[in-house]
Amino acid sequence: MTAVMAISCGRNGADGVDLLPYLGSVMADTSSVEHSVMAGYDPMDRYGDIAVIGPEKDTRLLTDYLMRCDMYDNVDAREMRDSLPDFAGEIFASYYDLADSSCTALFREGRDDSIRTVTVRNAVAAAASECYQNIFSNAPTEGKPSAKVMVFSSPYSEAGVEDADTLFSFFGKRLRVISPVRAIAERMTNLHVSGRVGIWAESDVLASGVYALVFRDWNYGFDYVGFSPEGFSTAEEGFFRFLDMYMSTGEVTPLAALVIDDFGLSAYADSISEVAARVNSSTADEYAVYRAILDDDFKVIDAVSSIARSCYGLLRNENLFTHRIQYPSVMEYAILPSAGGDTDIKYIRYNHVH
């Protein structure tokens, strides 16, 4: 699999442009590996892979879902199961970022520019057509597919998406990127969600402002509140705890939807939706306070299936499916710090890591 280099960044203002030092170095240093990667990247190669990038646990979970999901008819794209994987014939490349294993830690340390750089750096790794044979290699020597679509598994990636777009645009390349927050916003838009939205996410994710960034800059205009329930043993219990936390603020505005940011909880989205429907249809006194804060058309939207929908729609709309007659396959890469220290990373084929 792939190994990466860990580069931190800082903000520079040049002619009013907020340019990360990492971007400046890649643009200017024509002898660098990254500059060669960007110059040679072909975003129109439909036989490229679908890169899934981020922390190992969530990246594995998301890749597994994408490999087996069946939400659409593969012939006409109707939203109907057809017993075939939606991404039949595609190759997924899972990039486990072991160089920066915790963007939460970077956020708590106030290293926002480092989070932005991680996103850009990993996008470059996914675009590369070579990887390092092992952590001791001085230069990439082993071929690998480059990514036609890049899917980030961490909500923190949103902080660096525009930086990555800036870099790819500088080289005249198209960047196709899907992030959890943007996929969720797209799903809410397609479902015509209006009104107040509840976001169930880790407290640090909520504090990072990634939802505010997307909802503001992309003109989604969602009114939202976020909470981080703890200490629950079932998804249903966590859902009611979320509603209790909302009501404890004194708010009485009904929620139009609940966003489940946590990948592990995404699997329970349907059961939480069923609980909400039971609350809304019940006349029991025990549910009365909850009925008052749920819209009649209350929706549950999870990050994992939203990402899958965004990825499918992008491939379909841009005619990027390979149309191979085979099941999806996966290749794995590790993004690792190199011996050079925290200003260098390597991306290596995962099964070469010992």
Q: Residues 29, 167: contact at Cβ < 8 Å? A: no
Domain harbouring 288, CATH code: 3.40.50.1860
According to the model, what pLDDT value does residue 76 have?
85
23 found inside a domain:
yes
Give pLDDT, residue 133. Answer: 86
The answer on 135 and 216 residing in a single domain is no
Kindly state whether residue 6 falls inside one of the protein's structural domains: no
Residues 143 and 280 in one domain: no
Rg (CA), the chain: 21
What is the DSSP secondary structure assignment for residue 32, as one 8-state letter?
S
Is residue 4 one of the residues assigned to a domain?
Answer: no
Residue 71, in any domain of the structure? yes
Burial label for 287, CB within 10 Å (0-12, 13-18, 19+), is middle
Instruction: Taking each helix axis as running N to C, give the angle between helix 33-40 and helix 112-127, from 0 to 180 degrees, rounded to the nearest 10.
Output: 60
Residues 167, 22, single domain; the answer is: yes
- From first to last of its 354 residues, the chain has per-residue pLDDT tens of 333 322 222 333 334 457 999 999 999 999 999 999 999 999 999 999 999 999 999 999 999 999 999 999 888 888 988 889 999 999 999 999 988 767 888 888 888 899 999 999 999 999 999 998 888 888 888 999 999 999 999 999 999 999 999 999 999 999 999 999 999 999 999 999 989 999 999 999 999 999 998 888 766 667 899 999 999 999 999 999 999 999 999 999 999 999 999 999 999 999 999 999 999 999 999 999 999 999 999 999 999 999 999 999 999 999 999 988 899 999 999 988 766 544 467 888 876 543
Q: Tell me, yes or no, whether 162 and 31 share the same domain.
A: yes
Same domain, 274 and 194: yes
Both 143 and 24 in one domain: the answer is yes
- Which run of H or E residues covers position 60? helix 56-68
Strand partners, 258: 198, 300
Residue 52 burial by Cβ neighbours in a 10 Å radius (0-12, 13-18, 19+): buried
Let me know whether 205 and 295 are in one domain. yes
Domain hosting 296: range is: 183-303
Residue 166 in any domain: the answer is yes
2 belongs to a structural domain: no
Q: Quote the pLDDT of residue 100.
A: 72
Is 44 inside any structural domain? yes
Compute the C-alpha angle 74/79/81, nearest 5°. Answer: 60
Instruction: State the total domains in the chain.
Output: 2
Do residues 36 and 156 share a domain?
yes
Tell whether 17 and 154 lie within a shared domain.
yes
37 and 160 assigned to the same domain: yes
Report residue 229 as tokens.
């329930």
Asked if residue 96 and residue 160 are part of one domain, the reply reads: yes
Residues 163 and 20 in one domain: yes
**Residue 249: inside a domain, yes or no?**
yes
**0.85 exceeded by pTM:** yes
